[in-house]
Amino acid sequence: MANCYFTEFIKGALDSGNVVGAVFLDLKKAFATVNHKILIHKMNMFSFFHQAINWFRSYLEARDQCVNINNARSSLQNIEMGLPQGSILGPLLFSLYINDLANCCKETKCQLDDSYLCISTDFTLSSRYTNK
């Protein structure tokens, strides 16, 4: 379905005389890139209840990890980025983290999927940014 929607998005934009750009995303390690402070800030922006934000903060913050290889153990390191691996909340929190990505392209129509970001805009608008 995602491929069909992607194709129709492009065909519709081109039929309307728009230009189309796409960025294909590799989200394999994306959960590891979630910045806790930014995520909590976004929850505030989305008007989450204060108690819910505190619960999520306690879920994300004050986590430590270490590496154990052949009975040699590293020191504990505080984790300030990423979501707990295999967590049920991971996909939801990641969606909250990236759902405003399309807002950075305000003058465009934007489609965000789990594997691509596709942008369509009026050709006359995009010509403003070319060298004359």
Question: What 3-state DSSP class applies to 107?
Answer: coil
Determine the Cα–Cα distance for residues 47 and 8; give it in Å rounded to an integer.
Answer: 34
Determine the Cα–Cα distance for residues 20 and 108; give it in Å rounded to an integer.
Answer: 10
Q: What is the pLDDT of residue 118?
A: 73
Q: Who's near 2: CB < 8 A, 6+ residues apart?
A: 113, 114, 115
Q: What is the pLDDT of residue 84?
A: 83
Backbone angles phi, psi at 95, to 5 degrees: -60, -45
Could you tell me the pLDDT band of residue 40, with boundaries at 50, 70 and 90?
A: very high
Could you tell me the pLDDT band of residue 48, with boundaries at 50, 70 and 90?
A: very high
Percent of the chain exceeding pLDDT 90 equals 24
**pLDDT greater at residue 22 or residue 12:** 12
Is the predicted pLDDT of residue 29 greater than 70, yes or no?
Answer: yes
Determine the Cα–Cα distance for residues 80 and 126; give it in Å rounded to an integer.
Answer: 39
